[in-house]
Amino acid sequence: MLRLESLTKRYGAHEAVRNLSLHVRAGELFGFLGPNGAGKTTTIKMIAGLLRPTSGRIEIAGHDLALHPVEAKGALGFIPDRPFLYEKLSALEFMRFVAGIYGFDSGILNGRIDELLDLVELHTARGELIESFSHGMKQRLVIASAFLHQPKVMVVDEPMVGLDPKGARLIKRVFREFCDSGHSVFVSTHTLEVAQELCDRIGIILRGELVALGTMSDLKSKAQMEGDLEEVFLKLTGGEGFKESEVAS
């Protein structure tokens, strides 16, 4: 569903991402982990089409991003770590605005818009201005808007930032149901507990290179140790780049 082949991004002599290859399968919730500065954000920006790779290939739902960018991006949903919204719009107006970006008639999509706002528990706030929303409500609105055009692959950067426990549980359920319907989620997070709970497989990037890939059992085998994901992650990365508070968050 999402395929990266020999993906490389250079800034002068510095290689932010080096020869990265992985395949996220249909129905899979894939975790992408790494210390600060490891290349996670650069990789996500290349997948989203915000950065052009120096070399390599990105395929989204069978569409080559370089050769067929409109089709590839049309199959992709993107949820950033910080919601960027037009705060003078209501939630309903924002959803209609997003529908227009994708070329949809918002009148035709009214039922879907209502369905998505209800899914993220914002239906009763649909007429309120976004500026009155809490951070968690804004994050849930961004998530609803990312599903509006019915993508096949969802790329998510730090999905649980600013969410209370109820909101976090809701979003976990939404992602799992999305994958259960045959789609895929590629999620980058510093919250290792969330990755261990949610992800079917996990890739770990270090200094721009993929150093581990597989199920939790595979990662434990590679690290030659038992333990939770935090312990395995620190063993595989040498504890590099994480502050103690970030690992524990």
pLDDT in tens, 189-239: 888 888 888 899 999 999 999 999 999 999 999 988 888 898 998 989 887
Q: Residue 108: pLDDT above 80? A: no
Report yes or no on 51 lying in a domain.
Answer: no
Q: Quick check: helix, strand or coil at residue 142? A: helix
> Encoding tokens for residue 231?
């312990």
Does 191 map to a domain?
yes
Q: Are residues 131 and 167 in the same domain?
A: no
Of 44-48, 56-60, 70-74, 79-83, the least confident: 79-83
Token reading at 8: 């490389």
Helices (H), 28-180: 40-47, 69-74, 91-101, 110-119, 135-146, 165-180
Per-residue model confidence (pLDDT) at position 240:
53
The order of strands in the sheet holding 2-11 is 14-24, 2-11, 55-60, 63-64
How many domains does one find in the chain?
2
Query: Span 116-142, mean pLDDT?
Result: 93
CB atoms closer than 10 angstroms to residue 152: 20
Q: What ranges in 148-226 are assigned the alpha helix state H?
A: 165-180, 192-198, 216-223
User: Is residue 239 in a domain?
Assistant: yes
Which domain-ending residue is among 126, 150, 174?
Answer: 150
List the domain range (segments joined by +) for residue 116: 85-150
Q: Domain boundary residue among 110, 132, 150?
A: 150
Average pLDDT, integer, range 36-49: 92
Instruction: Kindly state whether residue 163 falls inside one of the protein's structural domains.
Output: yes
Of 150, 173, 201, which closes a domain? 150
Q: Are residues 238 and 172 in the same domain?
A: yes
CATH code for the domain in which residue 23 is found: 3.40.50.300
230 within some domain: yes
Residue 248: pLDDT band (50, 70, 90) is very low
Averaged confidence pLDDT in the chain:
89
Q: Is residue 47 part of a domain?
A: no
Q: What is the pLDDT of residue 246?
A: 39
pLDDT at 161: 73
Rounded CA gap, 47 and 244, in Å? 29
Q: Are residues 163 and 242 in the same domain?
A: yes
